[in-house]
Structure 1
Amino acid sequence: MGDAEAGAGSVVSDEMNETAYPEGAGDLDREGFIRRRRLPSPAVMVAGLAFLAVVAGGVFWLFQDDLSHPFGDARACEGSDAALTGKIALGGVPIPADATDVHYITKNGFAEVSFLSDQMPDYLHRAGLVPDGESLFDENYGSAYALGEGGREMPDGLCGPALMGPVWSYHGRGPGPSANILIERAPAGTTLRAPARVIASFDIG
């Protein structure tokens, strides 16, 4: 084969390589053959996506309170427009230390708080709603609320369990003139439930 023919063959060979294996299709090995880059198999890709989904789900679970509640506060109900920070207090008197299942909603300078407590008799005295030594059901300090035994009620927008009747109402003392506290009574009506569900409504200014 002459030099001209060899040169022509080389040019043709180069053109074929460029046509068959465009730039970026693979890497050349020592013999000049292209090594094809292997894509991950479908099974590997599915496994990777599943792993990412599990990780994302775990992150959401860890931070779900921050993501699904106003102000990142698990106590705040949807629609609240102001945060109640720290220990919730009515007129400067913190709710009982044993309070659990606390929920609140705030709108236009007004708050409603729901919680469960076994220390409400002491709290009523500390808050000045019922003077020491007086009956918790003295009508000078409260009155029966219109919710019969077994009835349930929850203010609009407040989340958490509903208040269950019968209920006693305390208002206009201690926390301020706009305060109102509803507490579950025992069915017999002579004591409060233990623990009792409480809904407190008050101005936050």
Structure 2
Amino acid sequence: MSGRPRSRRRPGCLAAVLLVLAVAAGGAVWMLRGELFPPFGDDRACAGSDQRLPDPIGVRGTPLPSDASDVHYFTRNGSAVVSFRSGLLSDYLHSAGITPEGEDLFDKSRGSVGVADEPYRLPDGLCGSGLRTPVWYYDPVDGVSVTVERSPLFGDHLRFPARAVVTYGLG
């Protein structure tokens, strides 16, 4: 007789324990949802972005290079910052109108070199890998500013592949 009451209590205790565990797991997922799931379900979007960018991402009508990888973006108040890595970056700079076709990529009349020992910091909100120094800052062209990785060995070349950070308005 003592065995029967004990067997009736086990399913009730087990159900109560399972309910508590389910509630705790659900609460943990709800609290960490921002860390577990990227904004808009887009792996490229950084936390805090307020607008989803299309796929493929285009900057003022120019799509990112076809080999773009490790793409991340942050949007806020009608502007976007996009970071990506590409071996076709010089072609992209020409097609986006940042540098004129056939001219030097690092013409001092259109930009400036970053300080050699100064580490590059990603813009606030942008996630992903940062740029390795040395970097080149292009002066804004039609509201688009670009920072790229330069080759540490050959000052007139980009790294291969190079990372870029592009800032532009969405309007």
TM-score range (shorter-chain normalised) is 0.7 to 0.9
**Alignment-mate amino acid for residue 197 of structure 1:** R
1:69, CA displacement in angstroms? 1.0
Partner residue in 1 for 2:158: 192
- The SS at the match of 1:71 is helix
Output aligned runs, 1:109-128, within 5 Å: 109-128=78-97
In structure 1, how many angstroms separate the alpha carbons of the residues matched to 2:62 and 2:35? 27
Q: Establish whether residue 98 from structure 1 lines up as the match of residue 67 from structure 2.
A: yes
1:67-108 deviation line (CA, Å, top 9, x unaligned) = 521111111111111110211111100011111111111110
Q: Establish whether residue 201 from structure 1 lines up as the match of residue 167 from structure 2.
A: yes
In structure 1, how many angstroms separate the alpha carbons of the residues matched to 2:36 and 2:166? 26
Partner residue in 2 for 1:169: 137
In structure 2, how many angstroms separate the alpha carbons of the residues matched to 1:104 and 1:185? 21
Question: What TM-score, normalized to structure 1?
Answer: 0.65
1:65, CA displacement in angstroms? 9.6
- The SS at the match of 2:136 is strand
* Identity score, percent: 47
Give the RMSD, CA atoms, in angstroms: 2.9
1:147, CA displacement in angstroms? 3.7
Output aligned runs, 1:1-205, within 5 Å: 38-39=7-8, 67-144=36-113, 146-149=114-117, 151-173=119-141, 177-188=142-153, 189-205=155-171
In structure 1, how many angstroms separate the alpha carbons of the residues matched to 2:10 and 2:68? 55
**Alignment-mate amino acid for residue 107 of structure 1:** R
Contact 2:140 2:146 (8 Å CA) reproduced: no
- The SS at the match of 2:93 is helix
Q: Which runs of 5+ in 2 are unaligned?
A: none
C-alpha spacing 1:147/1:157, structure 2 compared with 1 (3 Å)? farther
